[in-house]
Structure 1
Amino acid sequence: MTDGFDLTRDGEVARLTLSRPEKMNAITYGMWAAIPDVVAEVEADPALKVLVVAGAGKHFSAGADISEFRDLRTTADGAASYDKAVQGAVAALTAMRKPSVAMIRGNCIGGGCQVSVACDFRFAADDARFGITPAKLGIVYDFDSTRQLVSLVGPAHAKYFLLSGELISAARAREIGLLNDVFPAGRLESATAEFTATLCARSQASVRGMNRIIEKIVAGQETSDAEVAEIRAGALHGEDYAEGVAAFLERRPPRFTFR
Structure 2
Amino acid sequence: MTVLDQDGVRVTVDGAIATVTLHRAEKRNAQTFATWRALAAAGRSLPGTVRVAVLAAEGPSFSAGLDRRAFTPEGFPGEPSFAELARLDDASLDEVIAGYQEAFSWWRRNDVISVASVRGHAIGAGFQLALACDLRICADDVEFAMRETSLGLVPDLGGTSPLVSLVGYARALEICATGRSVHAAEAERVGLANLVVPAAELEAATADLVAALVAPPRDAVVETKALLRSAVASDYDTQRAAERAAQARRLRDLLGEGD
TM-score normalized by the length of structure 2: 0.83
1:81-230 matches, within 5 Å, as: 81-142=95-156, 144-218=158-232, 220-222=233-235, 223-224=238-239
Are residue 235 (structure 1) and residue 250 (structure 2) matched? yes
Measured in 2, the distance between the counterparts of 1:142 and 1:31 equals: 16
CA contact (8 A) 1:125 1:170 kept: yes
Q: Does 1:57 align with 2:66?
A: no
Secondary structure of the residue aligned to 2:62 is: coil
Displacement of 1:203? 1.5
Distance 1:33 1:110 in 2: 18
Partner SS state of residue 142, structure 1: coil
1:39-54, aligned counterparts within 5 Å? 39-42=43-46, 44-46=47-49, 48-54=50-56
- Aligned 8 A contact 1:105 1:127 in 2: yes
User: 1:81 offset after TM fit, Å?
Assistant: 4.9
Aligned counterparts of 2:240 and 2:20: Cα–Cα separation in 1? 33
Same amino acid, percent of matched pairs:
35
**1:10-21 superposed matches below 5 A:** 10-21=14-25
Aligned length: 238
Are 1:29 and 1:82, in contact at CA under 8 Å, matched by a contact in 2? no
Unaligned regions of 5+ residues in structure 2, if any? 76-80
Displacement of 1:63: 1.2
- Unaligned 5+ segments in structure 1 are 243-259
User: Which region of structure 1 is more displaced relative to structure 2, 9-18 or 178-187?
Assistant: 9-18
CA deviations on 1:50-91 (whole Å, 9 max, x unpaired) are: 110011111111112231344332233385455223322222
Q: Which amino acid aligns with 2:82?
A: R
Bigger helix fraction? 1
What letter is aligned with 1:95? R
Q: Is the 8 A contact 1:73 1:82 kept in 2?
A: no
